[in-house]
Amino acid sequence: MALHTHGSFTLNKKIIIVTSLVLIIVLITTLAIGILSKKQKSTIVEAQKTNLNLQNNEHMHVELDASGDKVPVPNGYVGSKVTGENEINTGYVIYEGEEEVNDTNKDESQRSRNQYVWIPVPDISKFYGTDANGKKWGKIYEFSSYTGSSYDEVTGTHPLNWRESNGIMELYEDTLDESYREPDILEINDYDSRLKMLEIGAKTTHEFLKQVETEFNNMLTSVEKYGGFYIGRYETGNISQNIPVIQKGNTDIDYQAWYNVYKRCKNIKGSNTNIETGLIWGSQWDRALMWLIESGNKTKEQIADDSTSWGNHYNATFEYLNRNGGIEIKNAYYPRWIPTGSTEYTKANNIYDLSGNIMEWTMETNDRKCKNQRGGSYIYQGDYNQASYRGSNDTTNSKMRLSFSTLY
């Protein structure tokens, strides 16, 4: 018995040593992968700061963020001087108007002035492509925490419905009328008599196609020139009115059909001829999510698998300010939409409510009568309606639909 015990002890000792070595190797490998991942993210972040020889012009002026990097700020807006709001990598905020916004007047400014956050686009080739006929298409992506060879190692993205060879982008054949694409119109819903009634500019289906293609191409020109675009800091408010706002605490943020949102988001610019505002494109939504990952604010898992930790979802619990300014608790499994920007829980690089709360309309087209909606909703769990969630709905449906505005 003693001999067997000693042999067992020796064997166990060897197993422990071997196991320890394996654990050390795994630990070292994991650390190496982590260091590599951080290095890759750092490289991307630095690429985002690349100054495109930015200089003041008739439409914009150059401001410096907290690190001394250049940011193109449209005339009629000012870059924030608020602590935590003036760094590209953590969300550079601009405010409408000429008065400086700092730590002293931030609370009033956030509730009374339109605000946008700068989204860098360091590689325009990942943002759009051109087909064999010369038409430009937005590149939209599937998000995943998977690390396969066909998925981007940092962002976990994979082309959703397109491929590219020798500089020519091709949408899968069934995509041309039946799946995700932009810019495009809806064969069933965008008929002449409806367009005339809606007063959205174009009066015929053909004119509307040309209109959205022009808007898309103009956006691309600006993104390529300045190296990025601006996204609304909050969900679009006062959306039932002709001229909406992008301001903290707004509660007029839901129940709008796509056509109303499309038309009204273009009015946010007001009389400012230096900018264009509009409903967010699917490619812009995807780029914003990629940037959250690249900057280290969110992980692939928080974007693709479960966004409960940073969004107003059915299963989330957090404190927020109600419409009267009082503190309330939103408990898990008790669905409740909240005023936009009313809790730090839903903030990501100074953008609020990208995940959860009200589901967002986009310019992204699906089949022959639907536009895509993104970001999930307060009535669904965050592991089902993630920030990367992509659904679709008839453009005439107004149930719980809103939008993020963009500026360029």
DSSP codes of every residue in 229-297: EEEESSPPBSTTSSS-B--TT--------HHHHHHHHTTTTTT-TT--EEEPPHHHHHHHHHHHHHTTS
Query: CA separation (Å) from 153 to 49, 223, 323?
Result: 21, 24, 42
d(CA 375, CA 333) in angstroms, rounded, equals 18
Cα 356 to chain centroid distance, Å, stands at 12
- Helix axis angle for 282-294 and 2-48, nearest 10°, is 130
Buried b (16+ CB within 10 A) or exposed e, 202-219: beebeebeebbbebbeeb
Q: How long, in residues, is the chain?
A: 408
The three-class DSSP label of residue 78 is strand
The residue among 253, 272, 291, 280 whose CA lies nearest residue 405 is 280
Question: Which sign, positive or negative, has the C-alpha torsion 295, 141, 231, 168?
Answer: positive
DSSP state of 126: G
0.75 surpassed by pTM: yes
Residue 43 confidence (pLDDT):
46
pLDDT tens digit at each of 408 positions of the chain: 333 334 443 434 433 333 333 333 333 333 334 444 444 454 455 545 555 689 999 999 999 999 999 999 999 999 999 999 999 999 999 999 999 999 999 999 999 999 999 999 999 999 999 999 999 999 999 999 988 888 999 999 999 989 999 999 999 866 555 689 999 999 999 999 999 999 999 999 999 999 999 999 999 999 999 999 999 999 999 999 999 999 999 998 988 999 999 999 999 999 999 999 999 999 999 999 999 999 999 999 999 999 999 999 999 999 999 999 999 999 999 999 999 999 999 999 999 999 999 999 999 999 888 999 999 999 999 999 999 999 999 998 876 567 888 888
d(CA 70, CA 308) in angstroms, rounded, equals 34
Q: What residue spans define the domains of the chain?
A: 1-48, 52-408
d(CA 114, CA 99) in angstroms, rounded, equals 13
